[in-house]
Amino acid sequence: MRSLSAMDRGFAPASLAYAGALSLREAEGLRVKIRPRARKSRFGLRDRILARLAGPGVSAIFAGAVLLSTGVYGAVKGGHYEAFKAAQGAPADIIAKAFGFGIEAVTIAGESELAESDILAAADIGPRNSLLFLDVASVRERLQALPLVKDVSVTKLYPDRLLIEVEERQPSALWQKNGHVDIIAADGMPLDAMRDQRFIHLPLVVGAGANERLGEYLALLEAAGDQRDKIRAGVLIAQRRWTLKMTNGIDVLLPEREPAAALASFIQLQRDSHILDKDVLSFDLRQPGRVVARLTEDAAAARAESTAHKTKSKGGPT
């Protein structure tokens, strides 16, 4: 209880009010227990981390990590790591092989001209590889870079087998350029240098770009019919038209347009008159409906003499 006069003078300070209240409670026989407030730790997060790092064994771990990183850096810079990968495989491959995902067998199908060892070497597949981490797209890309390979598929057969199916380009003709002869496929792709006599009977095309127009030359051979054996080679002139080299040394100059039709007419003339058996150097078919023959020197001299003799016998000028 306070007097009204005391309230007129203002409230007492909080400390005095608290003391007054406490006295009143003690007077009433109440026990008040005041709990002390928890004191904040003097050590923060940074101090605790530093304390951990200063603990036993940390310096040894740090020294080991430094030595390990130094060793790895030296192995990489010195080429030892790459040599290890080339011999044993990457760490991921080693782990995969340990779990049974190594390549135990490779099945190759469709090859005829290529040897299995050549395919494996081009695919870059060996004991160091694992089936799990083998990049099939890269293997396929490397195999398709081979001239003889037209298409290829690579299939993983888990856990440890690989299937490679190859579609090869077939030798279709020979291509001579700048004195060198190559074996080419039907699409004109050079396959290999001509070193095997078993390909000597393939059709022969000559000249720059002749390999890319092989289909045209093969169509001309078809137009020759039963006389195609008399054609030894096709020479592409200025990448515009064909000149046929016959087996007896005669040249047949074909027109740029509709060469197959002109050749068919010429072959019919050969069947009827055996003009390829004459003493001529070449036949020019470039003018529609006409065949111009160029005689050899002996044939030209004999023709000139015969013409002069006929003129004298008719009483013409001498």
Q: Which domains does the chain have, with CATH numbers?
A: 88-168 (3.10.20.310), 173-308 (3.40.50.11690)
The pLDDT value recorded for residue 300 is 66
The pLDDT value recorded for residue 272 is 92
pLDDT (tens digit, 9 = 90+) per residue, 213-232? Answer: 999 999 999 999 999 999 99
The pLDDT value recorded for residue 250 is 95
Residue 318 and residue 305: Cα distance in Å, rounded? 12
277-284 long-range contacts (CB < 8 A, ≥24 apart) are: 280/250, 281/250, 281/251, 282/250, 282/251, 282/252, 282/253, 283/250, 283/251, 283/252, 283/253, 284/253
User: What residues of the chain score a pLDDT lower than 70?
Assistant: 1-89, 299-300, 302-318
Give, in order, the Cα–Cα distances in Å from 95 to each of 86, 220, 245, 263.
15, 61, 64, 68
Dihedral of the alpha carbons of 137, 191, 240, 224, in degrees to the nearest 10: -120
The pLDDT value recorded for residue 73 is 54
User: Encoding tokens for residue 153?
Assistant: 């598929």
The pLDDT value recorded for residue 80 is 52
The pLDDT value recorded for residue 18 is 44
The pLDDT value recorded for residue 50 is 58
The pLDDT value recorded for residue 198 is 85
The pLDDT value recorded for residue 48 is 67
**pTM of the entire structure?**
0.61
